[in-house]
Structure formats: C-alpha cells, structure tokens
Amino acid sequence: MSITYTIEIPSTDLSKQWHILAYFDTEEQAIAFSDEKLGTDKGWYCMISYDGDWWVCDTPSPNLGNKNNQFLEIESFKHKEDCLDFVKANFPDARSDGSIYLICQH
C-alpha cells in the first residue's frame, strides 16, 4: 500500500469538509507545491491577516487560477486575540500564531 500526500484547505463553512487541492507521491512535493502556489511556509499556512481595519481568519481559495481573490474570509474580528482564539477553537492543531499545516498523509 503506497502513501499519498494531499494539500487540504478549510472550507469557509466550518461545518463542511476540507477541500483537497492536489495529490502527491511525497511530502516534499506537496510542500513545494503548497509553498509556491499558496504562499505557505514549509506547508504551514497562517490563517490570520490584517486588512488595516479588521483581523481576518481566511483560507486559500480552492480555485488556484483565481488571481483576484486568492483568499476567502471565514470570519473577521476587531482584535487580533479574538481572531487567534477563533482559529485555536476551530482548528485545534493550529500553532500559537494561527498557522495550520495543509499537508495530509493518507
């Protein structure tokens, strides 16, 4: 039985399953693709961004060809700590900075 690696991203509707973007034979291939196409750091995606007014919990768009809307908002907050708390509550494996690992082994 061979191992497969996938890149999986959260849906904007947290009650739904994550989107599988791509399949790879090695974790290294998945990480390289994720870093290049999604801007991750070794497969880690920071879900928190600041737009100047709001702290936004977002996810990459499952449509990799969409250059105008590369990230989709899940929820926004006035305070960074509230955004971090939201990420930690909904993504238990998230790092303290709000990053999640997008590479899964099957």
Look at residue 50 in the predicted model and tell me its pLDDT: 97
Q: Which residues contact 30 (CB under 8 A, 6 or more apart)?
A: 5, 6, 7, 22, 24, 43, 103
Look at residue 66 in the predicted model and tell me its pLDDT: 77
Look at residue 35 in the predicted model and tell me its pLDDT: 97
Q: By C-alpha distance, which of 34, 26, 28 is closest to 7?
A: 34
Measured CA to CA, the distance from residue 27 to residue 3 in angstroms comes to: 10
Residue type, 97: D
Tell me the pLDDT tens digit for each residue of 86-106. Answer: 999 999 999 999 999 999 999
Strand partners, 20: 8
* Confidence (pTM): 0.93
Tell me the pLDDT tens digit for each residue of 18-66. Answer: 999 999 999 999 999 999 999 999 999 999 999 999 999 999 999 988 7
49: helix, strand or coil: strand
Measured CA to CA, the distance from residue 7 to residue 37 in angstroms comes to: 11
Q: By C-alpha distance, which of 10, 39, 11, 44 is closest to 27?
A: 44
Look at residue 64 in the predicted model and tell me its pLDDT: 84
Look at residue 91 in the predicted model and tell me its pLDDT: 96
